[in-house]
Homo-oligomer: A and B are copies of this chain.
Amino acid sequence: MSGLARMVSDHQANGAAPSQPTPPIRYELLTLGDELLLGLTPNGHLTFIGAQLGRHGALLQRNVTITDEAVAIAEQFRESWARADVVITTGGLGPTCDDRTREAVAAVLGQKLVFEPTIEKAISERFAAFGRKMTQNNLKQAYVFERGEVLPNANGTAPGLWVEQDGKVLVMLPGPPNELQPMFTDQVIPRLAARGLLHAGESYVQLRTAGVGESMLETRLQPIFDRFGEALSVAFCAHTGAVDCRVSSPDGRLDHAQLEAIAGECAALLGEDFVCYGHDSLARVCGDLLRRQERKLAVAETATGGLLANAFTEAGGACKFFAGGVVCYSNDAKMALLDCPECLLEQHGAASEECAVAMATGAAETLGADFALAVTGFAGAAKGVGGNPVGTIFIGLFSPGGVWAKKLSYPGPRATVKVRAVNAALDWLRRELLRLESGATTTVRRSNVMR
């Protein structure tokens, strides 16, 4: 395995810079399937595997998506195998006749496929456990490379395959995400790390922020970054309503504890604009704060149509803090479910700061919650009314400290406006929860959170 000698992490053990820069390990990903090229299924394997590799300090160099056709697979695999250090394939390992990946790849590698009785046993046991009969074509999945290893599949019939040859690594993974993803994190990452092809741990520390644009964030943090010069690498990634900042040390001069210290300094400087380390969603962070404070939340929404409520129910445990939500598309619904006064709706309209306040108050009172968020406005194709164009959103916040509303304006298509409105509401709640936790008596004013 001399070809695997170019380790990415061997110079990190002593914290010293390597005498010579090692060329990066080349990773290529082949995603197979007509359904990807026909646009029927998004290429989630690229998103997942690219993010996982990045998290462990490896950059995916290339992703190629091709048809299920054997000739195309062989041709592309030959090319990628010649160029890359690690080739990962997804899909084409199943039992049906269009799954010809195994054979095409074996031919290029000059390997035979051999029947592995233990896999047949595992597959037939899996069928038996579900009370089904194994059809003959499933036996195809029991053929493995004569010089290779098997990655057991806890969630399906087709195992993954691992080959080390020509100083390179080939990883073949089954297509279903619920089979591929645990196989990748639990088996593939540790194996690649053991061979020095990526870091076993996280290669960066990520700060998640909200309420600050990317360029302003950079300006505020630059004085900290400047102290570390080229030893520190910084990357920003803007989402709708949040910006992530990743600090890493490509040449290993700064160890993980030092990166964490730098991130901690950034977080302290950012104050409330700092959301969390890592990848937790705004809703998750709000949920954790609510649970810690033993408070309940209710929501009321029009324009976001249920997405605000859903944000809290994506992770488990929402019943601990989430009282419930109301989606009120009509004034009747606002009156019936939230006790919004008819005269208020008539005077100010349903898309107004006044209505947002009434909705938040009504949601908290009806559902017996300590906090409530309300979203109303014009998200989509319908024309705005009364000088409020499409993209005008009103958010209401009810808290033990008071009740307020603010007006926001977002450009873009309906789906984007909805996500931005949800995130703005969540961020407002997060800041209010933080201030109450810190014992601050003044709560947020309209003017200083408007953006």
Give the B-binding residues of A (Cβ under 8 A).
34-44, 46-52, 54, 59-67, 72, 76, 178, 237, 299, 304-310, 312-314, 316-319, 322-330, 332-333, 336-337, 366-368, 380-382, 412-415
B residues near A47, Cβ cutoff 8 Å = 39, 41-43
Q: Which of B42, B67, B323, B414 contacts A333 (CB 8 A)?
A: B323
B residues near A46, Cβ cutoff 8 Å = 36-37, 39, 42-43, 65
What is the predominant secondary structure among interface residues of chain A facing chain B? Answer: mixed
CA distance A95 to B119 in the complex (A): 54
Q: Is the CB of B39 within 8 A of A333?
A: no
CA distance A44 to B43 in the complex (A): 8
Name the 5 nearest CB pairs between A and B, nearest first: A39-B51, A305-B313, A306-B306, A39-B50, A306-B309
B residues near A330, Cβ cutoff 8 Å = 319, 323-324, 367
B residues near A316, Cβ cutoff 8 Å = 380-382, 414
B residues near A310, Cβ cutoff 8 Å = 304-307, 310, 327
Known: A306-B327, A326-B337. A37 touches B61 (CB 8 A): yes
**How many copies of this chain sit in the oligomeric assembly?**
2
Q: Is the CB of A324 within 8 A of B327?
A: yes
Q: Which of A36, A313, A412 has the most CB of B within 10 A?
A: A313
CA distance A42 to B63 in the complex (A): 13
CA distance A327 to B414 in the complex (A): 22
Q: Is the CB of B37 within 8 A of A63?
A: yes
CA distance A380 to B322 in the complex (A): 16
CA distance A41 to B54 in the complex (A): 13
Besides the contacts A305-B306, A336-B366, what 10 more A-B pairs have beta carbons closer than 8 Å?
Answer: A36-B46, A39-B46, A178-B412, A305-B309, A306-B313, A306-B325, A319-B382, A323-B332, A326-B326, A337-B366
B residues near A326, Cβ cutoff 8 Å = 324-327, 337
